[in-house]
Amino acid sequence: MIKNSWVAFASAAAMLLSGMAIAQPAANFPSKPIKIVVPFPAGGTSDVLARIFGQKITENWGQPVVVENRPGASGNLGADQVAKSAPDGYTLVLMDVGNLVISPALFKLPFNVINDFAPVAMVAYSPHLLAVSTKVPANTPAELVAYAKAQKGKLNYAVAAGMGSASHLAGVMYAQRNGIEWGYVPYKGGAQAITDLVGGQVDVMFNGMVATYPHVKAGKIKLIAVSGLTRNAQMPDTPTVAESLPGFLTGSFQGLLAPAGTPKPIIDKLHAEIKRIAALPDVKERLVTLGAEPSGMTPEQFAQWVKTEIPAMAKIVKDEKITVE
């Protein structure tokens, strides 16, 4: 009995010490600078968000947050760097929807998005705008679908960031669910795609709100719908795609992740800080100007979103035989 008591005591003590060891890093975190890797060039949405949130973390926690732009391989170079970093919360990556759920279907990656990362927070979501050239005789989703069916295969869809991008898959999903066909014209970036949409060289596109909405307000292109699940506060009279296609959701998702194995107390502390920052009035106002909105996903919900979206995107890529040029 004495021996058994000592075994039980030793076991309980070990569990207590283990719990203390896990809690200790979170209590002292952060004790040195934090690095957020942005796997894209400076100036893009991911970069802007990383700097907004990084500055607020520094102000609150008193530790510098260094934003490191590490572009290359469609954003996968920087992601791989973080996947192989120490799981201590001091190296994070801000990935977009392409990295998170589309790249696994298009590239042979040196990392596994599900297994090699610990989701921290979905920092922000920005909807796509479904817009058409002023030459297209359609002003509503129903009119666009009817016109596309009448002009079977004749409309040209502008792919704002190349084949396999979020913009491309948005157009593919929309066409599939509506039973329409159109041709895809790839562009290296959204600026030239918008220019050609304004000029009528292409007919339709899904594109980010920040780049697209100014041309809508100027009357240079026509806004048909917004890709969010709810109507956008800046354009309350514009319907969502989901109103005619239930559950349709595309856009720019920006997620903050840590290397897999990062202690949960540190993940939770980082998540709480991102949530706090997103609720600050000046940050909320800045997000609105970017056409973005904070996401309320927990780390667990974020992880489940990734697990659900990866096979969904892979199916579209396979069905449409999409390859990277």
Architecture of domain 127-243: 3-Layer(aba) Sandwich (3.40)
Strand 91-96 and strand 156-159: the pairing is unpaired
Distance CA 169, CA 155 (A): 16
Do the domains spanning 32-125+251-319 and 127-243 agree at the CATH topology level?
Answer: yes
Place of tokens 């030459």: 135
What are 65-117's pLDDT values in tens digits?
A: 999 999 888 889 999 999 999 999 999 999 999 889 999 999 999 999 999 99
Determine the pLDDT at residue 325: 60
Flag residues of the chain having pLDDT under 50: 1, 18, 21-22
Q: Please, what CATH class does the domain formed by 32-125+251-319 belong to? A: alpha beta
Domain ranges of the chain: 32-125+251-319, 127-243
The pLDDT tens digits for 5-45 are 555 555 555 555 545 544 566 789 999 999 999 998 888 78
Give pLDDT, residue 21: 47
pTM attached to this predicted model: 0.81
